[in-house]
């Protein structure tokens, strides 16, 4: 039934208008969504002056919520898929957010281009599941060739103290982190990452532990060190070492 409703709405409004309306609705209701409590923990730990990276900004829901939190700070939002980026741009303009810089690109461990896909399931375009196409992978959907840059190479972030990172790039996180080691070492930001795929999760956790971070999870209103025997959450917090 859910897919049928989504399919009808995408046809009635047109896909790009549907994305904007859905994003606007979620910015108004997300704080009451029990599935989003973890990422709200990251936002609540940012100060009004913080600089935050939203990597995999998608249609801008988290970008807006973070920007409203860091009113005297700044948000850099990264989104490579064209339709998603246009919805993100429209949402930021709708809320008149002047503390957001939008980057129409993917991030990875090298500069160049990436092949990405927005899957389609039961005639519904799944913008939230857009991901990098792996070799030999067959996915029904809309394909794109997008620019990719290294986080450490971005001129806009040179000399900037980054305080927080929210990243959700559907299994590509390890490559983004590999291209941003300099920033991670120098800024030691608090990082929130959704890590589902085992190899991606293992690599990312080991990388942060090598930098002195503590891999942690949210429990109610607290963030506690990860205990693999007890915690099953895919939503991880990388807590920087004390300064």
Q: How far apart are CA 189 and CA 23, in angstroms?
A: 27
In a domain, 46, yes or no: yes
Over residues 28-74, the pLDDT tens digits come to 999 899 888 899 999 999 999 999 999 999 999 999 999 999 999 99
For residues 51 and 70, is the Cβ–Cβ distance under 8 A? yes
Give residue 174's Cα distance to chain centre: 13
Over residues 95-128, the pLDDT tens digits come to 999 999 999 999 999 999 999 999 888 888 889 8
Domain that holds residue 58: 2-108+150-239
In a domain, 139, yes or no: no
Give buried/exposed letters for 61-85 (b at 16+ CB in 10 A, else e).
bbbbbbbebbeebbbbbbbbbebbb
Q: Is the pLDDT of residue 5 over 90?
A: no
In a domain, 50, yes or no: yes
Residues 6+ away with beta carbon under 8 Å from 24: 91, 94
Torsion on CA atoms 128, 217, 91, 33, rounded to nearest 10: 80
Count of structural domains, the chain: 1
Percentage of the chain with pLDDT > 90?
A: 71
Residue 63: the pLDDT is 98
In a domain, 140, yes or no: no
Alpha carbon distances (Å) from 50 to 73, 81, 217: 5, 26, 22
User: To which residue do tokens 């690109």 refer?
Assistant: 105
Residue 191: strand pairing partners: 165, 238
Under DSSP, is residue 117 helix (H, G, I), strand (E, B) or coil? strand
In a domain, 183, yes or no: yes
CATH for 213:
3.40.50.150
**Residue 136: is it exposed, middle or buried by C-beta count within 10 angstroms (0-12/13-18/19+)?**
exposed
In a domain, 136, yes or no: no
Residue 161: the pLDDT is 98
In a domain, 6, yes or no: yes
In a domain, 80, yes or no: yes
Tokens of 26: 């979620």
Tokens of 86: 């246009």
Residue 237: the pLDDT is 96
């Amino acid at each position: 039934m859910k897919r049928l409703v989504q399919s009808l709405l995408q046809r009635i409004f047109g896909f790009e208008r549907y994305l904007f309306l859905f994003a606007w609705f979620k910015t108004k209701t997300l704080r009451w969504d029990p599935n989003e409590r973890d990422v709200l923990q990251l936002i609540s730990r940012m100060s009004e002056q913080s600089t935050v990276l939203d990597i995999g900004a998608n249609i801008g829901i988290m970008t807006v919520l973070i920007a409203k939190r860091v009113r005297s700070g700044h948000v850099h939002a990264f989104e490579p898929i064209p339709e998603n980026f246009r919805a993100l741009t429209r949402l930021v303009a709708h809320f008149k957010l002047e503390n957001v810089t939008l980057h129409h690109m993917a991030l990875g461990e090298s500069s160049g281009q990436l092949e990405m896909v927005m899957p389609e399931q039961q005639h519904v375009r799944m913008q939230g599941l857009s991901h990098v196409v792996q070799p030999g992978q067959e996915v029904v959907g809309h394909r794109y060739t997008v620019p990719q840059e290294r986080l450490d190479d971005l001129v806009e972030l040179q000399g900037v103290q980054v305080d927080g990172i929210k990243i959700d790039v559907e299994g590509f996180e390890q490559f983004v982190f590999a291209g941003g080691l300099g920033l991670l070492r120098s800024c030691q930001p608090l990082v929130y990452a959704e890590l589902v795929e085992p190899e991606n999760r293992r690599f990312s956790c080991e990388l942060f532990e090598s930098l002195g971070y503590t891999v942690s999870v949210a429990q109610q209103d607290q963030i506690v060190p990860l205990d693999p025997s007890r915690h099953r959450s895919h939503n991880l917090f990388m807590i920087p070492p004390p300064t």
